[in-house]
Chain A
Amino acid sequence: AQSVTQPDIHITVSEGASLELRCNYSYGATPYLFWYVQSPGQGLQLLLKYFSGDTLVQGIKGFEAEFKRSQSSFNLRKPSVHWSDAAEYFCAVGDSGGYQKVTFGIGTKLQVIP
């Protein structure tokens, strides 16, 4: 069965600092990977996704993620964090093309300090 591990439950960074959120997955074949963001009181928004091809994926809001098969990882990065990035971030794995169900990690809550 597919699963996702987000080892960091809560991360605090200073505004303007770089960010990396970790994600490890377990899946028997080529995974479909996603990062979602959930701001307080808001719905989930897709930041980026990986299906195939280039292992470095660019997303919205200046985020990127790199798929590393050898490490079963899909870490999310941003070079300079803004206060508006404070939110909860979910890594997820899908079993085929996004049409099927998606399994979510527990989430990482990001706090941004001035």
Chain B
Amino acid sequence: SAVISQKPSRDICQRGTSLTIQCQVDSQVTMMFWYRQQPGQSLTLIATANQGSEATYESGFVIDKFPISRPNLTFSTLTVSNMSPEDSSIYLCSVTGWRGNNEQFFGPGTRLTVL
């Protein structure tokens, strides 16, 4: 299966600051996604990271709050901007199209706590 790493694995941040999360895949993939999992909740798709163009955001999520980059086919970043305690969640990167496989693989997640 795809080997996906996320950095940092966890962080504790102050209100009003920003955090950038990195997602690295061991091989080129077709699609990369970012999800949020709030405490005790299911996964909610934030956006699809598009290589070489602006990300596609789901309803309720905006670029100013969650800017996303995808400079190549194996790497993406998600920034959580101007954080508040409500942003405390696990943020997961996922990919599809890894070596032609249409399964969606997930990274280990980044656990964010905002004080």
A residues lining the B interface (CB < 8 Å): 34, 36, 42-46, 49, 90, 94, 97-107
Report the tally of A-B residue pairs with Cβ distances under 8 A: 46
Query: Which B residues touch A98, using CB under 8 A?
Result: 96, 102-104
Answer whether A46 and B104 are a contact pair too, CB < 8 Å, given A99-B96, A101-B48. Answer: yes
The stretch from B12-20, B80-88, B106-114 touching chain A is: B106-114
Name B residues whose Cβ lies closer than 8 Å to a Cβ of A. Answer: 30-31, 33, 41-45, 48, 58, 92, 94, 96-97, 102-109
Contacts of B107 in A (CB 8 A): 43
Contacts known (A99-B97, A101-B48, A106-B42); A43 close to B102, Cβ less than 8 A = no
**Nearest opposing residue in chain A for B31, CB measure:** A99
A90 pairs with B43, CB closer than 8 A: yes
> How many angstroms between the C-alpha atoms of A36 and B107 in the bound complex?
13
Select one of A42, A104, A106 contacting B108, CB under 8 A: A42
Q: Are A104 and B92 in contact (CB under 8 A)?
A: no
Query: Given known contacts A34-B104, A43-B109, what 19 new A-B pairs fall within 8 Å (CB)?
Result: A36-B106, A42-B108, A43-B92, A43-B107, A45-B106, A46-B104, A46-B105, A49-B103, A94-B104, A98-B102, A99-B31, A99-B102, A101-B33, A101-B45, A101-B58, A102-B45, A104-B43, A106-B42, A107-B42
Complex alpha-carbon distance, A105 and B31, angstroms: 21
Q: Which A residues are CB-close (under 8 A) to B96?
A: 98-100
